[in-house]
Structure 1
Amino acid sequence: MEFAFTEEQLLIRDSAERFLAQASDSHAVRAGMSRAADYDPELWRQIGQELYWPALLVPEAYGGMGLGFVELAVLLEQCGRFLLGSPLFTTTCLATPALLLADNPALQARWLPAIASGQLHATLACPLEAAQLQAEVRPDGDGYRLDGCHTQVVDGAQADLLLIAARRPGSAGEHGISVFAVPTDTPGMVRTTLHTLDQTRRLARIELQQVPVSEAQRVSAIDQAWPLLQATQRIAAIGLAAEQLGGAQQALDLTLAYTAERHQFGRSVASFQAIKHRCADMMLHIECTRSAVWYAACVAREYLAEDGDPMVRGELLAAAATAKAHASETFFHCAAESIQLHGGVGFTWEYDPHLYFKRARASEQLLGNPAWHRECLATELLGACA
């Protein structure tokens, strides 16, 4: 497969890099870590209403730009480089794909224009595996009631809209699961921000106490939502892998800049052969990951363009598993090496490597760690061979 960025994709990349270099520099990231709110509302206004980043995947019929997932991945790579703290990832990689794949024109017409205009940010409340789903849905008159909880929802405390997965009582496995679009001001919903390792990305616990939802809020066919949720999470894993790729590249860039300016024994540290070898090893990991990520992004683009074509589904699951496993290990390796090659100041608060190390460790577990994804890949390949 031959892959090269188009002129439009390069324009997206370069403009995002210029903007984030100022709006999400080290000072801004650290300020966001200490902010009580989960994100900077002014920064989100710029992203949504001036740059139109949330509109990338949204079709033109709903006020979006109608571009593909590759363009979004190009953008997410730069967000990962600069540790952007905003609900962009959850809105574009979790909520938007779920709505696009749901084949529910009424809900798409209601929510996608607001997402495209930057007036609403949304996320998905769903565990990685169906067996872990704790929320339940019960019929109540003409509608339903939601009970239970979701323990680790990315950007869940500040989202305007939650796509909530819930299970019919008595069902098991992947059966009996539905998903509902629920505004976060609905009575009975309690959201609690969690204290986590990565302060640049917030998680929340969502408790559901007899939350009323109507039939019109049901995103998918009743009891048949798991295939949609699984595909959405794999697409999001590819987006996260693009972020991790950007973070790994920035960890290498920080290391190269520091070793070039630091001198020891009358010469630049970067001139030592041992340092060159370790930096070359980092670059090798990054380039291998880059290939996996862009291939996976192309598969996700095709899957979304074909409205969830079952023929592409197996390729999507395999590509997402490969990209996320490689990206998680590469980011963590490069972040750890960056700390080591910064020497005695590498772990101090004043320098940035620790920020990337924390993001790398947290992202490694988010949407499946490498071991989990390799198990999924093995299952998919062995199933195809059977």
Structure 2
Amino acid sequence: MNAELSELRDSARQVLAAEGLAAPEDKTWPLALDLGWLLVAVPEAQGGLGQGLAGACAFHAEMGRSLCAAPYLPAMLAMEAAIHAGREDWIERLGASGFVTAPLVDPTLTITDGGIVAGMASAVPSADRASHVLLGSEAGDCVALVALQQAGIDARHRETWDTTRRLFDLRFDNVAGDPSLVLARGNDAHVLSRRLATHRDFALAADAVGGAATALEMTVEYLKTRRQFGRPLALFQALKHRCADLKARIAAAEALLADSLVRVGTEVDSERAEALGKAAKSFAVSAYAAVAEEMLQLHGGIGMTAEHACHLFLKRALLDEQLGRCTSYELDVADTLLGAG
């Protein structure tokens, strides 16, 4: 991580810490816009900070650390698509005040040559506040922006245990798209779809690494203050070992994420980048879930209460596992990565 990116990350951490854990999106989303966080991955030639995918992941990790409710990931996917398509008008719009959302799982829909959209897009964050949604066809042959305020779109809020994110299911009943908002078709659409999936997987990995780090920090602090038999729990050897094991898992996930980002570099739309993203995401979310489960156990009775933040980390970790492409293919990807030089 270069010095400029390190400073940006530290600044984001301070801002989000001031807002508190799991601050609502009405407070954090305006901050993301005002502070220009959506421009971190935009090339300098297009008016951005030029930090690429690694820069975006630094912010995704900070969002995870604070359980931030701002719909930063879908907005960054929309920005990524605008960059790829060379749409300066949308880059400026997204970086200023516009919000375009995107599904966090692969949609099951078709987009005809005439621009008719039909099918389902699930796990779409904050769809009720977005002007458009970024959609890719299931076949991967078209990527387009679709206006949400029109007939034929049924948006339903999906209740989940994770209260730090608001997800919607969108059903499209032969909705007429705007030809001017088609960002890619054919082979170019396949490349862009891979690029978006790669960004999404790396972002989820970063969110998991950040969340796991905070969960362990809170757990260690609790063990330092909670006393049993006249001694702080942190002095018990068995609990020390459990925390050390969790720290090792987080460090491994963080190292894999950092190494994968270096390997990817600027080749975000390559098949290798896609494989690296899948492996990093799979490893990080499993580590996050393990840390969140241990966090609850190590907090004892208070960790079981709704008033404590333990359940927020656990629920976010379990949702991260389900977002993106969660298939057995990830295991093959991880094996390939571990065998790569």
Normalization by structure 2: what TM-score?
0.91
Q: Identity over aligned residues, as a percent?
A: 29
User: How has the CA–CA distance of structure 1 residues 47 and 151 changed in structure 2, closer, same or farther, with 3 Å as cutoff?
Assistant: closer
Taking the aligned partners of 1:155 and 1:376, their CA distance within structure 2 comes to 31
Taking the aligned partners of 2:244 and 2:337, their CA distance within structure 1 comes to 33
Taking the aligned partners of 2:145 and 2:266, their CA distance within structure 1 comes to 25
User: How has the CA–CA distance of structure 1 residues 245 and 10 changed in structure 2, closer, same or farther, with 3 Å as cutoff?
Assistant: same
User: How has the CA–CA distance of structure 1 residues 126 and 228 changed in structure 2, closer, same or farther, with 3 Å as cutoff?
Assistant: farther
Partner of 2:79: 96
> How far apart are 1:97 and its partner, in Å?
2.1
SS at structure 2 position matched to 1:157 = helix
> How far apart are 1:333 and its partner, in Å?
0.6
For 1:211-360, what aligned pairs fall within 5 Å after superposition?
Answer: 211-222=175-186, 225-304=189-268, 308=269, 313-360=270-317
Asked if 1:64 is matched to 2:35, the reply is no
Q: Does the 8 Å contact 1:81/1:246 carry over to 2?
A: yes
Asked if 1:145 is matched to 2:116, the reply is yes
For 1:346-385, what aligned pairs fall within 5 Å after superposition?
Answer: 346-369=303-326, 371-377=328-334
Which digits, 9 at most, give the CA deviation of each residue in 1:243-302, with x for residues without a partner? 100100011001100000011111111000001000000000011001111122234442
Aligned residue identity for 2:80: P
Aligned residue identity for 1:322: A
Partner of 1:44: 29
For 1:113-132, what aligned pairs fall within 5 Å after superposition?
Answer: 113-117=92-96, 119-125=97-103, 127-128=105-106
Taking the aligned partners of 1:275 and 1:55, their CA distance within structure 2 comes to 43
Aligned residue identity for 1:68: G
Which digits, 9 at most, give the CA deviation of each residue in 1:204-235, with x for residues without a partner? 11111232123322111247623421331122
Normalization by structure 1: what TM-score?
0.81
Aligned residue identity for 1:84: C
Gaps of at least 5 residues in structure 2 are none
Q: Does the 8 Å contact 2:28/2:69 carry over to 1?
A: no
Aligned residue identity for 1:10: S
Q: Does the 8 Å contact 2:144/2:182 carry over to 1?
A: yes
Q: Does the 8 Å contact 1:58/1:116 carry over to 2?
A: no
Q: Does the 8 Å contact 2:276/2:337 carry over to 1?
A: no
Asked if 1:158 is matched to 2:129, the reply is yes
Q: Does the 8 Å contact 2:28/2:68 carry over to 1?
A: no
Taking the aligned partners of 2:8 and 2:332, their CA distance within structure 1 comes to 35
Asked if 1:6 is matched to 2:8, the reply is no
User: How has the CA–CA distance of structure 1 residues 296 and 164 changed in structure 2, closer, same or farther, with 3 Å as cutoff?
Assistant: same
> How far apart are 1:91 and its partner, in Å?
0.9
User: How has the CA–CA distance of structure 1 residues 162 and 366 changed in structure 2, closer, same or farther, with 3 Å as cutoff?
Assistant: same
Aligned residue identity for 2:89: R
For 1:13-32, what aligned pairs fall within 5 Å after superposition?
Answer: 13-23=9-19, 25-26=20-21, 29=23, 32=24
Taking the aligned partners of 2:69 and 2:296, their CA distance within structure 1 comes to 22
For 1:159-174, what aligned pairs fall within 5 Å after superposition?
Answer: 159-166=130-137, 174=139
Aligned residue identity for 2:283: H
Partner of 1:84: 68
Q: Does the 8 Å contact 1:255/1:342 carry over to 2?
A: yes
Gaps of at least 5 residues in structure 1 are 33-38, 168-173
Q: Does the 8 Å contact 2:104/2:323 carry over to 1?
A: no
Taking the aligned partners of 1:98 and 1:353, their CA distance within structure 2 comes to 35
> How far apart are 1:319 and its partner, in Å?
1.5
Q: Give the aligned length.
A: 341
Greater Cα offset, 291-300 or 318-327: 291-300
> How far apart are 1:144 and its partner, in Å?
2.5
Taking the aligned partners of 1:122 and 1:214, their CA distance within structure 2 comes to 15
Aligned residue identity for 1:78: E
> How far apart are 1:236 and its partner, in Å?
1.2
Partner of 1:35: none
Q: Does the 8 Å contact 1:87/1:121 carry over to 2?
A: no
